[in-house]
Amino acid sequence: MAAWLAASLSGLLYGALFPPLAVAALSWIALAPLAWALRRASFGKALGLAALSTWIGAACVVPWLVPTVSGHFEMGLPFALAFWLWVSLATLPPFYAPILAVASRVGRRLPRSLWPLLFAAAWVVSEWLRTELGLRSPWTRLGDAQIEAARLRQIADLAGVYGLSFLLAFSAAVAAEAWDALATRSRTSRGVRRIGVQVAVLACLVAAALTYGETRVRGMHTGTALDVALVQGGLDPKLRWRRSHAGRVLRRYGRLTRDEILRSGRPAPDLIVWPEHAIQTQLDDPVYGPPLVRLAARSPLLIGAPRSEIASDGRLSFNSVHWIGAQGALGTYDKRRLLPFNETRALGGWLQLGPRGDLDAGDYTAGRAGAIFPIAGQQIAPLICMEALYPDLAREAARDGATVLAVVSNDGWFRGQGGMAQHAAMVRFRAIETRLPVIRATNTGVSAVIGPDGREVARLGAGESGVLRATVPEGAGASLYTRIGDAFVLGCGLVLGISALVAWRRHGAQDSGSLRV
């Protein structure tokens, strides 16, 4: 019973790491109860413990799904509750449970001093797998909890956010080992030395991370890339996706933009950015298209708006970003990572959130490739909404020559507490990982300009409306993470694989010795 309670406690603590609570200090020990429980569990029990803990953790992170699904998508409270519990179960446990169970079994056959390493490596591999497979859920990885740690977070340019996740999981396992020694009173000289070595290794890792972070922060450039205006309409989401309100939405964004461009005594910005689906009609609409070209006569626009094309198998709809200049449309980027259950029919469409209005296609086609727009002397790489949570897309843009990442997002559908803040915090890691500035425009907040060190240079908060005018800092050079990608995750996988092989061979040798006797 103690093991199950400990696993549940880790799940609860995990939920407390992120907004609205955001108790980041707990991230160093949040997984300690789970690490303690797994250390002595059988393989089957370890599967159950890890599944329970990660299910509770996921559910505690995204309780805002309930008011979002029942309110914004109008699916009803019973469906919303079932959807919340099912999504929490489907996104984390299938990836964490088997990997952590394997680590638990291997850890019992190897020297106990290796347990923190095995646990941290298993956590990182699990985290990467749930980002890349299944429903592709990159939401709130463990390392994301440390986004406000100005120096510690800088190691993300070496190993991505996964480097921070490893450090925090390692710390939790060391804490579990220390607690176990105190609780069982196993204070033999050998046990004390083992824990002393583990604590010393942890201290060295933290010191190295902080030292590296201090060096990176001090070495950041202070130059500027461009002057931007991010337009946050702040309109009631109920007005969106309905043709009867399309004109009102366009007038709102148009007025805010004109006021900024024509503001006396101030030059027009280098770039104006409207959020995802700021316009819900096609840009070639004869009523709503021409005003956008007139607005772009003074400053180029990046605008989120749908588009469609005719293919052999019918009409295809895309969630897109459009680059508009005085000559008209100059470039388009189509969203590649679509949101399951909303923009695309995951699982055959049997669990689908319905269209939001008569302008919503409800089922989109994924884009085929990235894009880079040469604007105001910069190479602007657009990403749409939750695409900014995937490190590989940001790395791809950086390798292709991007100097600024431009994220347009629709966060108006969040209900309840925490969702908007969680989303905004995670995007900041893409700046650190690539050492590129990020500009983020949303319809209801949070819109922000983010420096290559992850610092928010300027911000327009949730629920506000207006124009965020800010100077974008220049990038800080190519990062190691951009060049080598998830090599650190691969290293963690090798640690687990080699450890499993050694444990298997040791177990076989012990069995052979028993037979000979």
pLDDT confidence of residue 514: 45
Task: List strand residue ranges (DSSP E) for 312-434, in order.
Answer: 314-325, 328-334, 373-375, 378-384, 404-409
Q: CA distances (Å), 488 to each of 158, 163, 201, 392, 492, in order? A: 8, 7, 18, 14, 6
Q: Does the pLDDT of residue 177 top 90, yes or no?
A: yes
User: Exposed, middle or buried by CB within 10 Å (0-12, 13-18, 19+), for 492?
Assistant: buried
Q: Which of 217-226, 266-275, 420-429, 454-463 has the lowest mean pLDDT?
A: 217-226
Span 391-412, average pLDDT: 96
In the numeric block, the tokens 């970003």 are attached to 321
Q: Which of 159-173, 337-351, 492-506 has the lowest mean pLDDT?
A: 337-351
**Is residue 466 within 8 Å of residue 474, measured between CB atoms?**
no
Q: What is the pTM of this model?
A: 0.93
Q: What is the pLDDT of residues 440-450, one digit of tens each?
A: 999 998 999 99
Q: Coil, helix or strand for 138?
A: coil
Domain boundaries 224-482, corresponding CATH code: 3.60.110.10
Whether the pLDDT of residue 407 is over 70: the answer is: yes
DSSP-derived secondary structure for 154-167: GGHHHHTHHHHHHH
Which residues 6+ apart lie within 8 Å of 165 measured at CB? 123, 124, 127, 141, 142, 143
**pLDDT category of residue 499 using cuts at 50, 70 and 90:** very high
- What tens digit of pLDDT does each residue of 333-351 get? 999 999 888 787 766 555 6
pLDDT in tens, 145-158: 999 999 999 999 99
36: amino acid identity, one letter? W
User: Is the confidence at residue 256, as pLDDT, over 60?
Assistant: yes
The answer to whether the beta carbons of residues 81 and 65 sit under 8 Å apart is: no
Residue ranges of the chain assigned to CATH 3.60.110.10: 224-482
- Beta strands 404-409 and 378-384 are parallel
Structure tokens at 79: 């469906």
Partners of residue 439 on adjacent β-strands = 406, 449
Closest CA relative to residue 371, chosen from 422, 330, 340 = 330
Cβ(24)–Cβ(146) under 8 Å? yes
